[in-house]
Chains A and B, each alone.
Chain A
Amino acid sequence: MNKKTGSADFSGRLWKLFASVKLTVVLLLSLAVTSILGTIIPQNESADAYLNEYGEFLYKILSAFDIFDMYHSWWFQFLLLMLTINVVVCSINRFSASWKIIFVKNLFFDVSKFRNLADKEEFTDSRSPEDLKSIYVPIVSRSFRYRRIEETGNGFCIFAEKGRWTRIGVYAVHLSVILLLVGGLIGSIFGFAGFVNIPEGETVNDISLNNIGKTQRLNFKIRCDNFNVKFYDSGAPSEYRSKLTILEQGKSVLTRDIIVNDPLRYKGINIFQASYGELPPREIALNFKNRVTGMSHKKKVPLGEKFNLSGDTGQFVIEGYRNSYNFGGHNLGKTFMGILTPNNGSPVHVILPVRFPFFDGMRKGDLIISVEDYDHRYYTGLQVTRDPGVLVVYSGFLIMILGCFITFFMSHQRLCVEISKSEKKSRIMVAGTANKNKLGMQNRIKNIVKSMGK
């Protein structure tokens, strides 16, 4: 055996492997089984979280197989690639045969093939074949567009068929699978998905990309003019709304509100309302109450700026803000942190939870400080994406639905009604074939026979 035939033999065997439906079944089931892993093991979390959960040994094994980002791992992508090749090869392999059937030049009906069908219907009628022909042709026409009447030795044959083109349905489904995978690939190569938080009134054009810690610069800027969150009476959120302005070379070109499910699309970039948060306030209204006299006075102070207390008893500064504060296992909620420096003592840390104005009383100091109000500032959290593959994927979706419908619910049906004279009567045979849903074809034949007045 020389080298040439050896390689031809090999590629032939490879082709045969990829042309087999057995491989399809194996690949589909492998994808199904392996996909389960990624739903049990949370994906794309931090290494620490995994070490904590699984211990070092298991962590090393799992991460060697990319289990923590398994849907993008080499072996999962390999399975998808195999499936793609499998689909392509199977389709090419069978397409030429289907092509010959679909685009046949000379339609040929073989009456003997229909005679050999097991579930044909036969009966006799007292009318002559000529009379019956004029009755039967309209009946057949009702459900079959293509008809041909051929004369036989002692009567007629009415051949009819429809749905020849539906044989293409399965190729449409396969094409759609390819489109989905190609569209996904285009998206992952030429697209990006990132995240940006924009405080109200501020402008950005750098997006932090998901998962890889890099940034993507847009060729325009986004300004958040305003963010608003509405709640139902129950406290559940009802609407997140950001007013955004697009700026090109410093000039605003577009202003629009976005809400969840109604993103802004500009120059191929999609901007989605994804989250929001509260920013550290800039100005806080404080209340100072004297423990001894019970007198209180209010003062508005900027964050981080030291000021003298009234009566010159010392200095105070609000040096920080947190959205939540853990105190002995309880979450105090939004909390300010300050430092009080009395004239005759050392600095004291003061905790000022917004929800609990009497909290500072527990410090047992001369002054009880509480937060009256502060300026509420929000930032909007935007998901920013670009995916040039979406159009390909969506066309795949459309073709897949149409293809599935054609493949499952339409078929290529062929019908033969043979009318032959036997003595003074006519013998009639009705038989048909379908490439799918044979039970449905049997029922159709029964219905045709019924409407033939038998």
Chain B
Amino acid sequence: MNSSNLLSIVTFIYGTAAFLYIVSWIFKKQMPGRIATWVAIIAVVGNTGGIALRWIESYRLGIGHAPLSNMYESLVFFAWTIGIIYLVVEQTYKNRTIGALATPLAFMAIAYASLSPNINNQIQPLIPALKSNWLIAHVITCFIGYAAFAIAFGVSIIYLFKQRKTGGKQSMFVRSPDSSVLDELTHQMVTLGFLFLTIGIITGAVWANSAWGSYWSWDPKETWSLITWFIYATLLHARMMRGWEGKRIAYLSIIGFMAVIFTYFGVNLLPGLHSYGSG
């Protein structure tokens, strides 16, 4: 079995986990949730195996490099970071409602990688610009940041739904954590994401300076990562200094994640230095 096949199976496992989390959430049943956790753990383990296998395969092809070099590999890694961070959050907060939004995101990322005809899942040799030790540091830190923002996005959506449904006791969110805990969780995920986005932008800048002689050249991807940074910086200042919380923070977190998504996918529609990330 090669890594692409393994990761296709993992896609299916993530889908199953997402389905079970959603069932558990809608029907307010504990059992599917408990199974969902185990399925999600299996998916993350399989995802880890797929990444490792792909790494080994690249060495067998004689073009060994970390599997973080194109859209397919980054999506697979994105799913993995979402899976890991979500499971940690689930363990910490002992609650599975967030899984109903987090695992579908991981599923969508890896499904897009495996199924989209526009995405090449071949292992390709590195072009000269990507041959740098900064590649690994840059991609890993960026995607930890993106994954934390993805979870913050999921939590914010749950928060907003919950706010809308207050009053009725038979809400879908009976078992979701208290609003204040959701609010705090959004904030914590945003701070984690912000730290890693910052490190990701900085490693990218240092890399650009060693490859092209300029640490910042306002190419669309750089600019969009900065836009994302501005939005989350706004959120953090609004919350820490102006005491914003609740809905307004949730909306900002959703807008921030839209910027993340555009930085990741939308920018490939625009010309620029990051064009190798597109296919």
- By a beta-carbon cutoff of 8 Å, the part of chain A in contact with chain B is 21-22, 24-25, 28-29, 31-32, 35-36, 38-40, 42-43, 71, 184, 193, 232, 234, 236-240, 259-263, 270, 272-274, 383-385, 387, 390, 393-394, 397, 400-401, 404-405, 408-409, 436-437, 439
B244 to chain A, nearest CB (A): 9
Distance between Cα atoms of A21 and B240 in the complex (Å): 10
B225 to chain A, nearest CB (A): 10
Across the interface, which residues of B come within 8 angstroms of A193, CB to CB?
213-214
Contact B223 A38 (CB under 8 A): yes
Contact B213 A439 (CB under 8 A): no
Known: A21-B242, A390-B209, A404-B198. A236 touches B216 (CB 8 A): no
B28 to chain A, nearest CB (A): 26
Across the interface, which residues of A come within 8 angstroms of B237, CB to CB?
21, 24-25, 28
Known: A40-B270, A261-B210. A29 touches B234 (CB 8 A): yes
For this complex, 24 residue pairs linking A to B, each with C-beta atoms less than 8 Å apart, are A21-B237, A22-B242, A25-B237, A28-B234, A32-B230, A35-B226, A39-B220, A39-B223, A39-B267, A193-B213, A193-B214, A238-B125, A239-B131, A240-B128, A261-B132, A263-B210, A272-B211, A385-B214, A400-B202, A401-B199, A401-B202, A405-B195, A408-B195, A436-B240
Give per-residue flags for B232-256: 1 if the beta carbon is below 8 A from chain A beta carbons, else 0: 0110011011100000000000000
Contact B128 A237 (CB under 8 A): yes
Counting from the closest, the 10 A-B pairs by CB-CB distance are: A32-B230, A260-B128, A408-B191, A39-B220, A385-B213, A21-B241, A261-B132, A272-B213, A28-B234, A397-B202
Determine the interface band of chain B, counting residues with CB < 8 A from chain A: 35 or more
Q: A259 touches which one: B128, B213, B231, B240 (CB < 8 A)?
A: B128
Chain A residue with Cβ nearest B221: A39
Q: B125 touches which one: A234, A263, A394, A437 (CB < 8 A)?
A: A234
Q: B223 touches which one: A35, A237, A262 (CB < 8 A)?
A: A35
Across the interface, which residues of B come within 8 angstroms of A270, CB to CB?
213
Chain B residue with Cβ nearest A384: B213
Distance between Cα atoms of A439 and B185 in the complex (Å): 10
Contact A29 B230 (CB under 8 A): yes
Known: A400-B198, A404-B198. A238 touches B128 (CB 8 A): yes
Distance between Cα atoms of A426 and B240 in the complex (Å): 39
Across the interface, which residues of B come within 8 angstroms of A437, CB to CB?
188
Residue B212 at the A interface, CB < 8 A?
yes
B226 to chain A, nearest CB (A): 6
Contact A261 B131 (CB under 8 A): yes
Distance between Cα atoms of A401 and B227 in the complex (Å): 18
Across the interface, which residues of A come within 8 angstroms of B63, CB to CB?
232
Residue B159 at the A interface, CB < 8 A?
no
Residue B116 at the A interface, CB < 8 A?
no
B104 to chain A, nearest CB (A): 26
A447 to chain B, nearest CB (A): 14
Chain A residue with Cβ nearest B197: A404
Across the interface, which residues of B come within 8 angstroms of A397, CB to CB?
202, 205-206
Q: B124 touches which one: A43, A236, A409 (CB < 8 A)?
A: A236
A313 to chain B, nearest CB (A): 49
Contact B227 A36 (CB under 8 A): yes
- By a beta-carbon cutoff of 8 Å, the part of chain B in contact with chain A is 63, 124-129, 131-132, 181, 184, 188, 191-192, 194-195, 198-199, 202, 205-207, 209-216, 218, 220, 223-224, 226-227, 230-231, 233-234, 237-238, 240-242, 259, 267, 270-271
Across the interface, which residues of A come within 8 angstroms of B216, CB to CB?
184
B194 to chain A, nearest CB (A): 7
A73 to chain B, nearest CB (A): 12
Across the interface, which residues of A come within 8 angstroms of B126, CB to CB?
238
B35 to chain A, nearest CB (A): 29
Distance between Cα atoms of A384 and B213 in the complex (Å): 7
B94 to chain A, nearest CB (A): 13
Contact A43 B218 (CB under 8 A): yes
Q: B191 touches which one: A28, A29, A409 (CB < 8 A)?
A: A409
Having A274-B212, A436-B240, one finds 17 other A-B pairs with CB under 8 Å, namely A28-B234, A28-B237, A29-B234, A39-B224, A234-B125, A236-B124, A237-B127, A238-B127, A240-B128, A259-B128, A261-B132, A383-B213, A393-B215, A400-B202, A404-B194, A404-B198, A408-B194
B142 to chain A, nearest CB (A): 14
Chain B residue with Cβ nearest A393: B215
Distance between Cα atoms of A409 and B194 in the complex (Å): 12
B98 to chain A, nearest CB (A): 16
Across the interface, which residues of A come within 8 angstroms of B124, CB to CB?
234, 236
Chain B residue with Cβ nearest A70: B218
Known: A28-B234, A39-B220. A390 touches B132 (CB 8 A): no
A33 to chain B, nearest CB (A): 8
Contact B231 A236 (CB under 8 A): no
B273 to chain A, nearest CB (A): 12
B186 to chain A, nearest CB (A): 12
Q: Point out which of B126, B198, B270, B271 has the most chain A C-beta atoms below 10 A from its C-beta.
A: B198
A408 to chain B, nearest CB (A): 4
Q: A439 touches which one: B184, B192, B240 (CB < 8 A)?
A: B184
Contact B129 A401 (CB under 8 A): no
Across the interface, which residues of A come within 8 angstroms of B214, CB to CB?
193, 385, 387
Contact B270 A39 (CB under 8 A): yes
Contact B125 A236 (CB under 8 A): yes
Known: A28-B237, A394-B206. A232 touches B198 (CB 8 A): no
